[in-house]
Amino acid sequence: MNFQAADAGPEPPRLELVGVGRRFGTVQALEGVSLVVRAGEIVALLGDSGCGKSTLLRVVAGLEFADAGAVRLDGRPVDASVPPEARGIGLMFQDYALFPHLTVGENVRFGLSGRSRTEARAIAAGRLEQVGLAKRTESYPATLSGGEGQRVALARALAPGPRILLLDEPFSNLDRRTRDRVRADTFGLLRETGTTTLLVTHDPEEALAFCDRIALMRSGRIVQVGTGEDLYERPNSRFAARFFGDLVEMPARCRRGNLETPFGLLDAGGAPEGANRLACLRPETIRLAEPGHGTPGRVVRRSFLGATVALEIAVDGIAAPFSLAAHPDDPMRPGDPVGLVLRGSPLIFDLARD
């Protein structure tokens, strides 16, 4: 269930970030961050903890201020003079931030202070219905399960009809089984309501599966923006490539347009003669074959994982053994020789630029 980007062209930009920077003391939390989120789009800010993605979210929300660059909402600049309550932005917190002294219904109505009482009740009831919690209207947050709390937080954030919804690691507090269901429901609702969404996550699969585009962040900068396919298949750095999966890394020198690797000669992608490059393979582009076919390797470990087995393969000339998935019926055992056949093109990186 991979949601594709709608034709991004006609939709106007909802949120624009231009060269946003933020420094805390000696730490440059954000530097030169530029990003456009179009109306109706779901965009992920992806990165490891401490990469600045949450700070960027708070800058957009108005809870934190940029000391460089500009933030524009629907084309109008929002700087420190526009407080968070005047931005019309929804934010769902990692800990949900439900008010413990208010009932579920009062929580959802909290952001509807401008509406009449009956209107607010109707909107809140509708949102709670959408997340399947109409029956818990009079409950207090302390009595909710983690998944229910997440859904109340979502209903509350959506109730005022925000121009953009910010989600800060919204699924990280849920156990795995609940998470899969809640996540699918949440993105389903966001698609259904056409809510423009900026999601902060450290989970690449979440970003790939549910978001139109991904902005990959590292040390306060955005290193690559694009669709999931762009980032997975055409990463612009080893960092980006590694972020989305295991790599088999083979340093090599360019000879007559080719790189000489344990997998034979690979196209160097236009690198100059004599240049050092890193050729990388995704494990799923390597197929197991009978010994004698392709590149020779040796099984060094076998781990049973249920649906598959992981075979760790050592190849002469490659520094670390890498793991390939095989069918559980596969009889191979540690010490057995195997053949390895390449069926895709490698990723070539210039480490000097990484």
Partner 1 sequence: MSLPLTQPLRSPPLAWALGALALTGLVLSPLVSLGHAALQGSGELWPHLLEYVLPQAVLQTAGLLAGVGLAVTLIGTGAAWLVAAYDFPGRRLLEIGLLLPLAVPTYIVAFAYLDLLHPLGPVQSGLRDLFGIASPRDLRLPELRSLPGCILLLGFVLYPYVYLPTRALFLMQAANLLEAARTLGHSPRAVFARVALPMARPAVALGTSLALMEALNDIGAAEFLGVRTLTVQVYATWINRSDLPGAAQIALVMLLVVIGLVVAERWARRGRGFAGTAQRPRSLTRTRLRGPQAAAAFLLGLAPVALGFLIPAGYLAASAAGRIARAGLPETLPAEIFSTVLYAGAATLIAGAVGFVVAASPRLIARRAGTALIRVASLGYALPGTILAIGLLGPLATADSALAAASTAVFGAAPALIGLGTGGALVTAYLVRFLAVAIGTCEAGLSRVPGSLPDAARMLGRGPVATLARVQLPLTWPALVSGALLVFVDCVKELPATLLLRPLNVETLATHLYGEAARGTYEDGAVAALLIVLVGLIPVAILLRLGSRSPQLR
Interface with partner 1 by CB under 8 A: which residues?
61-63, 73-74, 76, 78, 81-91, 93-95, 97, 99-101, 110-111, 113-114, 156-157, 160-163
Parallel, antiparallel, or unpaired: how do β-strands 42-46 and 197-201 relate? parallel
278 with 271: CB under 8 angstroms?
A: no
CB of residue 91 to partner 1, shortest distance in Å: 4
The least CB distance from residue 89 to partner 1, in Å, is 7
Q: How far is the CB of 141 from partner 1 (least distance, A)?
A: 11
| Phi, psi of 124, rounded to the nearest 5 degrees | -60, -45
Q: Which is nearer to partner 1, 95 or 354 (CB)?
A: 95
Q: How far is the CB of 193 from partner 1 (least distance, A)?
A: 8
Using the Cα atoms of residue 236, residue 237, residue 241 and residue 247 in order, give the sign of their dihedral: positive
Nearer to partner 1, 161 or 296 (CB): 161
Q: How near is the Cβ of 289 to partner 1 at its closest, in Å? A: 52
Listed in order, strand segments (DSSP E) in the chain are: 13-24, 27-38, 42-46, 68-73, 76-77, 89-92, 164-168, 197-201, 213-218, 221-226, 248-255, 258-261, 264-267, 276-281, 286-289, 295-304, 309-314, 322-326, 337-342, 347-349
Residue with Cβ nearer partner 1 (157 or 338)? 157
* Of 161 and 251, CB closest to partner 1: 161
In the complex, least distance from residue 134 CB atom to partner 1, rounded to whole angstroms: 20
C-alpha to C-alpha distance for 139 and 108, rounded to whole angstroms: 12
Distances (CA, A) of 188 to 25, 131, 193, 343: 41, 11, 9, 35
Contact 228, 216 (CB under 8 A): no
Q: Which is nearer to partner 1, 95 or 229 (CB)?
A: 95
Q: Is the CB of 3 or the CB of 93 nearer to partner 1?
A: 93
Question: Cβ atoms within 10 A of the Cβ of 312, count?
Answer: 17
